[in-house]
Structure 1
Amino acid sequence: MKETMVLQKVNICEEEPVQLLLNGKDLVTFMCTPNELKELAMGHLLSRGIIKSVKDITSLGACKDMKMIFATSSIEVDFGGIELNTVLSSGCGSGVKFNESIAKLPKIESDFHISIEKVKKIAIEMFSEANMYRKYGGMHCAALSDGREILALSEDVGRHNAVDKVLGKGILKEVNFRSTMLMTTGRISTDMILKAANVACPFVVSRSIPTTSALELANNLGITVIGRINSSNPIVYMYEERIAI
Structure 2
Amino acid sequence: MQDNIGISWNADCYEKNVCIKEEKQLVPELEYNLFVNDEYIKTFYCSPWNIDDLVYGDLYLHGQIEMADDVKTLTIDDDAREIYVRTRGDIFARANPFTSGDVIPAKKRAVKKSTSTLKVCPEDVYQLVKKLNDASVKFKLTGGVHSAMLSDGKEILYMREDVGRHNAMEKLLGAVLRNGVDTKEMIIVFSGRIAAEILEKAAIIGAAMVIAVSAPTDAASKIAEHYGMTLIGFARGESFNVYTNPQRVGIKK
Q: Place the TM-score, normalised by the shorter chain, in its bin.
A: 0.7 to 0.9
**Maintained 8 Å contact 1:18/1:34:** no
Distance in 2 (alpha carbons) for counterparts of 1:223 and 1:51: 25
SS in 2 for 1:229: strand
Cα distance, 1:99 vs structure 2: 5.5
SS in 1 for 2:184: helix
Q: What is the one-letter code of the residue matched to 1:40?
A: L
Determine the C-alpha separation between the residues in 2 that align with 1:144 and 1:63.
28
Alpha-carbon offset, residue 75 of structure 1: 5.5
Q: What are the ranges of 5 or more consecutive residues in structure 1 without an aligned counterpart? A: 1-6
Matched, 1:96 2:103: yes
Q: Does 1:63 align with 2:77?
A: yes
- Pairing 1:113–2:116 present: no
Structure with the higher strand share, 1 or 2: 2
Secondary structure at the aligned position of 1:187 is classed as: coil
C-alpha distance in 2 between matches for 1:114 and 1:84? 44
Aligned to 2:3: none
Corresponding letter in the other structure for 1:70: Y
Q: CA RMSD in A?
A: 2.2
- Cα distance in 2 for partners of 1:12, 1:172 equals 30
Distance 1:235 1:17, change over 3 A: same
Match for residue 186 of structure 1? 192
TM-score by length of 2: 0.82
Displacement of 1:49 in angstroms is 4.2
Q: Is the 8 A contact 1:46 1:199 kept in 2?
A: no
Q: What pairs with 1:117-196 in structure 2 (closer than 5 Å)?
A: 117-196=123-202
Secondary structure of the residue aligned to 1:228 is strand
Q: 1:239 to 1:33 in 2, by over 3 A?
A: same
Selected match of 2:239 from 229, 233, 237:
233
- For the Cα contact (< 8 Å) 1:180–1:203, is it kept in 2? yes
Structure 2 stretches lacking a partner, 5+ long: 1-8, 11-22
Matched with 1:213 is 219
Match of 1:27 in 2: 41
| Matched-pair identity in % | 28
1:223 corresponds, among 218, 222, 229, to 229
Count of matched residue positions in the alignment of Structure 1 and Structure 2: 231
Relative to the length of structure 1, the TM-score reads 0.84
Q: Which has the larger radius of gyration?
A: 2
Q: Is this contact kept in 2: 1:218–1:225, CA < 8 A? A: yes
Rounded to whole Å, the distance in 2 between the matches of 1:83 and 1:162 is 25
Q: Which of the numbers 83, 87, 98 marks the counterpart of 1:86?
A: 98
Structure with higher helix content: 1
Find the residue that maps to 1:10 and give its secondary structure. strand
